[in-house]
Amino acid sequence: MSVRPYRDIYRRPSRRIMVGEVPVGGDAPVTVQTMTNTLTADAAATIAQIRRCEIAGADIVRVSCPDAESTEALRHIVPEVTVPIVADIHFHYKRAIEAAEAGAACLRINPGNIGSAERVREVVRAAKDYGCSMRIGVNAGSLEKHLLEKYGEPCPEAMVESALEHARILEDNDFREFKISVKASDVFLAAAAYQQLAEACDYPLHLGVTEAGGLRAGTIKSSLGIGSLLWAGIGDTLRVSLSAEPEEEVRVGFDILKSLNLRHRGVNVISCPSCARQQFDVIETVKVLEDRLSHITTPMTVSVIGCVVNGPGEARETDIGFTGGGKGTHQVYIAGQPAHRLKDRDIVDHLVELVEAKAAEIEAEKAAAEETGGPKTQAADAAE
Ligand code: SF4
């Protein structure tokens, strides 16, 4: 029994597959994916975008492979990046085989869409030969005709049936290294489809609310859809689909996981909305601070609170706390305890210094623990 059982999430048991060197499913951490929006055939631009996604924390990146130029470009892209690459294939089975040969770690392909049984066998053979996993990606907007006729409209049952039909084709080819997604732009439909699929199989699930919208609306929709599923223990990897740059998708994905305590990466800033009691400009301070701390990957919590109403209480639970005080004299907390006061100094500069020092300390402890094989400190243990 944990100390705070109301925070516990019991993840659905799922089989574990590998996407390159990244495990998905089983007891592996929930991974964050995104997708490039450069022309894949433009290898230099695609590599640059993937690297930006890596810096933002992406575990896995997907690229579209609509033509042979794209799969050819994969040969140049894969060796230049560290994250495993998923090749997004729609109907052309040859692109799947080329992508496997070119170093893709995973193929996003629906085997029911690529034609004959022989073509499926060829794709599976290539996946096995080159160590690729697959993702079956069902989308409410492109359900098979026979299922739309059977069910009348896209519904959770039709989506699950579609997913299981594709899964059966791979199983019949003795291939089980795949994950499944059942995405819809409607949050209710996506969530219900995932819930039903979670009951129907033990394959790892790739979560997503598709075509979710721009940064703000899409973040809210995704947080509700993906967040409610994760909270219920469903989901092994996720992609937040936004009409925004892929790095933003990665940041939102991590923020969803951080909110549910499922992953810890970088600084989790706890800040108040501010009001007439604030003793400094909370909104501007947090805006600049989040930006200045975006390079920190060490898991850490920082509270930035406008006044003593909530400041000391929030600081108690954080690595570094900051509370606005009267006459421009603010209170700094370290590890929940009052440490020193700050007056006539730039708040952001001071907090950045403290966070960087704390991050260095945690990383050093982690490295020392790894070297000696000894016990990690609690802080070091909080890493992903
Ligand atoms: S902590 Fe203080 S400044 Fe912030 S919202 Fe509450 S009362 Fe206002």
Question: What is d(CA 379, CA 1) in angstroms, rounded to the nearest whole number?
Answer: 21
pLDDT digits (tens, 9 = 90+) for 71-91: 999 999 999 999 999 999 988
Q: Classify strands 267-271 and 300-305 as parallel, antiparallel or unpaired.
A: parallel
Residue 354 lies in a domain: yes
Structure tokens given for 289 = 């601070």
Token pair listed for 47:
């590599």
Ligand 1 pocket, residue 305 CB under 6 Å: yes
**DSSP letter string, 78-102:** HHH-SS-EEEE-SS-HHHHHHHHHT
State in Å: Cα 228 to ligand 1 middle. 29
Number of domains in the chain: 2
Q: Is the CB of 313 under 6 A from ligand 1?
A: no
Residue 79, domain member (yes or no): yes
- Residue range 204-213: average pLDDT? 92
Model pLDDT for residues 7-60, shown as the tens digit of each residue: 999 999 999 999 999 999 999 999 999 999 999 999 999 999 999 999 999 999
Per-residue confidence (pLDDT) for residue 378, from 0 to 100: 43
Residues 101 and 187 reside in one and the same domain: yes
Residue 377 has pLDDT above 60, yes or no: no
Instruction: Tell me: do 203 and 284 sit in the same domain.
Output: no
User: What's this model's pTM, rounded to 2 decimal places?
Assistant: 0.90
Give CA–CA dist 118/115, Å, rounded: 8
62 vs 42: CA distance, rounded Å: 15
Q: Are 166 and 274 contained in the same domain? A: no
The residue-averaged pLDDT of 341-345 equals 89
User: Is 204 in the same domain as 272?
Assistant: no
Alpha carbon distance 52, 58 (integer Å): 9
- Pull the structure tokens for residue 31: 């991974």
188 plus 301 within the same structural domain: no
Atom from ligand 1 closest to the CA of residue 308: 2
Q: How far apart, in whole angstroms, are the C-alpha atoms of residue 363 and residue 379?
A: 9
Q: Please indicate whether residue 281, judged by its CB atom, sits closer than 6 Å to ligand 1.
A: no
Ligand 1 binding pocket includes 152 (Cβ within 6 Å):
no
Residue 1 lies in a domain: no
User: Going by CA atoms, what residue is nearest to atom 2 of ligand 1?
Assistant: 307
d(CA 339, CA 331): 8
Q: What is the DSSP letter of 113?
A: G
275 is in an annotated binding site: yes
Q: What is the arithmetic mean of pLDDT over 199-207?
A: 98
| CB of 275 closer than 6 angstroms to any ligand 1 atom | yes
Residues 159 and 230 in one domain: yes
The residue to mutate among 269, 270, 271, 277, having the most atoms of ligand 1 within 8 angstroms of its beta carbon, is: 277
Q: For the residues 169-186, what does the mean pLDDT come to? A: 97
Last residue of a domain, one of 226, 259, 292: 259
Read off the pLDDT band of 375 (50, 70, 90).
Answer: low
Residue 278, ligand 1, Cβ within 6 A: yes
In a domain? residue 2? no
| DSSP notation for 122-173 | HHHHHHHHHT-EEEEEEEGGG--HHHHHHHSS--HHHHHHHHHHHHHHHHHT
CATH of the domain at 141: 3.20.20.20
pLDDT of amino acid 380: 43
199 within some domain: yes
- Among 203, 236, 259, the domain-final residue is 259
- What pLDDT does 383 receive? 42
The closest alpha carbon to 41, from 14, 66, 18, 69, belongs to 69
For residues 98 and 72, give the distance between their C-alpha atoms in angstroms, rounded to a whole number. Answer: 8
Same domain, 169 and 230: yes
Q: What is the CATH number of the domain that holds 336?
A: 3.30.413.10
Answer yes or no: is 53 a known binding residue.
no
Are residue 27 and residue 150 in the same domain, yes or no? yes
Give the whole-number percent of the chain exceeding pLDDT 70.
97
* Contact criterion met (CB below 8 Å) for 332 and 354: yes
In a domain, 47, yes or no: yes
Q: pLDDT tens for residues 217-227?
A: 999 999 999 99
Q: Is residue 119 part of a domain?
A: yes
Task: List helix spans (H) across the chain.
Answer: 43-56, 68-80, 93-101, 117-130, 145-151, 156-172, 187-200, 215-231, 246-259, 282-292, 311-315, 347-372, 378-381
Q: How far apart, in whole angstroms, are the C-alpha atoms of residue 77 and residue 384?
A: 27
Shared domain for 253 and 285, answered yes or no, is no
Whether residues 195 and 280 fall in one domain: no
Per-residue pLDDT averaged across 133-143, rounded? 95
272 is in an annotated binding site: yes
Query: Which pLDDT belongs to residue 112?
Result: 85
Q: CA 73 to CA 269: how far, in whole Å?
A: 40
Q: Domain boundary residue among 218, 242, 259?
A: 259
Average pLDDT estimate for 187-199: 98
Q: Is residue 320 part of a domain?
A: yes
Name the nearest CA neighbour of 163 among 184, 143, 191, 189: 143
Q: Are residues 195 and 272 in the same domain?
A: no
Same structural domain for residues 243 and 283? no
Task: Provide CB contacts within 8 A for 274, sequence distance 6+.
Answer: 281, 282, 283, 306
Residue ranges making up the domain that contains 355: 267-381
Distance CA(298)–CA(317), nearest Å, equals 17
